[in-house]
Amino acid sequence: MSATANLRRGWCPGALRPMPVGDGLLARIRVSGGRLSLDQADAIAEGAARFGNGVIEISSRANIQLRGIREACLAALQSHLEEFGLIDADEATESLRNIVASPIADIDVSALLDPAPLVAALEALLAGDRTLLRLPPKFSFIIDAGGVLPLGDVEADVRFAAIETASGAACEVSLPGDETIAARVAPNQLGAAARDLAHAYLCQAALAGPEARRMRHLTSRIGVAAIFARAGLKAEPSVATRRRVAPRDWLGVRSLGAAFCVGAAPSLGRVKAREFALLVRESRRRGARDIRLTPWRSAIVTGLSADTAATLSALLDRAGFIVDPANPLLAIVACAGAPACANAERDVQADALAVASEVSPSHGIMLHLSGCAKGCARSAPSPFTLVARDGAYDLVLGGRAGDTPSRRGLSIEDAATALVRDQGEPPA
């Protein structure tokens, strides 16, 4: 495979097909179910240090991104990742594997099912159906098993939520645009239902035209019921509750019955390879089972005792990881910014740190800083969005990076003042 042949823009990057950005190649490792063995996590730290600039990002889809990969080292990186089961058989398979699953449902006694076998079945079905390569690059699926870490704040084109029925756990499937109606399938039918809904999207989107870029665009035009009908699924009133979590639910020491885990978040989702290696090394030293990535740009170390969890949490705190749910950086999303991204007009990472003290961490994501109007770091609306333009910031209230701003040309100091003045209870 020629690396140069794959250096094109306009897709979701992978490890087999990275994307050129301002600081080199960006390689995204799609981590199956968000679960990493300690050996795999070690391999990621080593790969980032040996073949890139040492920057590791945890994405909002519970994947890993390695930055600054040198083109001359790409083949060696891919061989390294393949050795540890962190790479797909081909680019097509990689591009379809956009699945977010509940990270700790298998060890959470309050969860309704273990999503790992469902993820594996869905991945296999997607890989075996090449007609699905026509799906949009970011077309994604969620498997929400409930429990202490539900995925109610994570968006997707197709959502499966575990529900309890008289005959056991089932999966309710819903689509963006109208979540008052849903279909119901048995867990072992989830993969087939997901595949059929993807086919239904492709068929109906072809009729709707280019404006139906994602499932939410299509359902806004023809309705959710039409997609269910095309997929051969019966629509009925939804009974699932879309629950959201707060940082206190996954950060620091958490008890899961007799087991304990530690949740830690790198600042703004970014960590250096040596710090990630420290996380893995100290987790291994304390007998940890594995590391789970979350869509909240954090990692959860599992398989600990009460004592080892406490010591690990304290050590990670000292090492610069966030374990305190009151840290205001948890309420901020920022893209890579300049100079890492060639499209960005400001160093938004540094600016995020500059305004963090003015942001309340008590209401989820409050502030999105974007280096340009594309808004790559967050597609959902935010109470406050600062968009870099012409060396300054435009402020969007209650919207996305591409929306019309309410104020333009703010310095970062002016933006901080606006946050203090306008910040109150976020929109419901």
127: CATH:
3.30.413
- For residue 51, give Cα distances in angstroms to 40, 70, 81, 309: 16, 6, 11, 32
Q: CB burial class (10 A; 0-12, 13-18, 19+) of residue 223?
A: middle
Strands (DSSP E) contained in 31-97 are: 35-36, 55-58, 64-69
Residue 414 lies in a domain: yes
User: Is there a single domain that holds both residue 265 and residue 361?
Assistant: no
Does residue 105 form part of some domain?
Answer: no
Sheet of strand 236-237: strand arrangement: 99-101, 141-144, 158-165, 168-174, 181-185, 236-237
Could you tell me if 198 and 125 lie in one domain? yes
Cα–Cα distance, 49 to 273 (Å, whole number):
6
| Residue 103 belongs to a domain | no
Distance in angstroms (rounded) separating the CA atoms of residues 359 and 352 = 10
Return the CATH number at 377.
Answer: 3.30.413.10
Q: Are residues 61 and 160 in the same domain?
A: no
Average pLDDT of each block of 10 consecutive residues along the chain (428 residues)?
39 91 96 98 98 97 97 98 96 94 96 97 94 93 97 95 95 96 97 97 93 94 96 96 91 91 97 98 98 97 97 98 95 94 94 91 85 90 94 95 95 89 56
Same domain as 260, residue 165: no
Domain boundary among 271, 302, 322: 322
On whether both 221 and 136 belong to a single domain, the answer is: yes
pTM to 2 decimal places: 0.93
At residue 320, the 3 state secondary structure works out as: coil
| DSSP strand pairing (141-144 vs 158-165) | parallel
Residue 271 in domain: yes
133 plus 222 within the same structural domain: yes
- In angstroms, what CA-CA distances link 209 with 177, 204, 214, 221, 395? 18, 9, 11, 11, 32
Q: How far apart are alpha carbons 16 and 79 in whole angstroms?
A: 10
Q: Is 155 exposed, middle or buried (0-12, 13-18, 19+ CB in 10 A)?
A: middle
Output the pLDDT for position 264: 98
Residue/partner pairs of 114-118 with CB below 8 Å, 24 or more apart: 114/145, 115/33, 115/143, 115/145, 116/33, 116/35, 118/143, 118/160, 118/171, 118/187, 118/190, 118/191
Q: Which of 237, 267, 287 is the last residue of a domain?
A: 237
Q: Integer distance in angstroms from the first to the last C-alpha of the chain?
A: 49
Is 428 contained in some domain?
A: no
For residue 28, what are the CA distances in angstroms to 131, 225, 380? 23, 34, 21
Report the number of distinct structural domains present in the chain: 4
| Structure-token pair, residue 394 | 């435009």
Q: Looking at the structure, do residues 221 and 300 belong to the same domain, yes or no?
A: no
Helix, strand, or coil here: 189? helix
Cα–Cα nearest to 100, from 144, 157, 52, 163 = 144
Q: What is the pLDDT of residue 6?
A: 38
Domain assignment present for 158: yes
Which of 237, 270, 286 represents a domain boundary (last residue)?
A: 237
Chain segment 71-113, per-residue pLDDT in tens: 999 999 999 999 999 999 999 899 999 999 999 999 999 999 9
261 lies in the same domain as 205: no
Same-domain status, 411 and 339? yes
228 and 270: one domain? no
List CB contacts of 289: < 8 A, sequence separation 6 or more. 302, 303
Distance CA 103, CA 133 (A): 27
Residues 317 and 356 in one domain: no
CATH number, domain at 293? 3.90.480.10
Q: State whether 269 and 179 are in the same domain.
A: no
Q: What's the CATH code of the domain at 67?
A: 3.30.70.3340
**131 falls within a domain:** yes
Report yes or no: 331 and 313 within 8 Å, Cβ to Cβ: no
Domain of 139 in residue numbering reads as: 112-145+154-237
Contact 140/156 with Cβ under 8 angstroms? yes
Rg (CA), the chain: 21
Q: Where are the alpha helices (DSSP H) in 291-428?
A: 306-318, 348-355, 412-422
The pLDDT, as a whole number, for residue 1 is 36
8 Å CB contact between 145 and 115 = yes
Residue 242 lies in a domain: no
Helix (H) or strand (E) holding 102: none
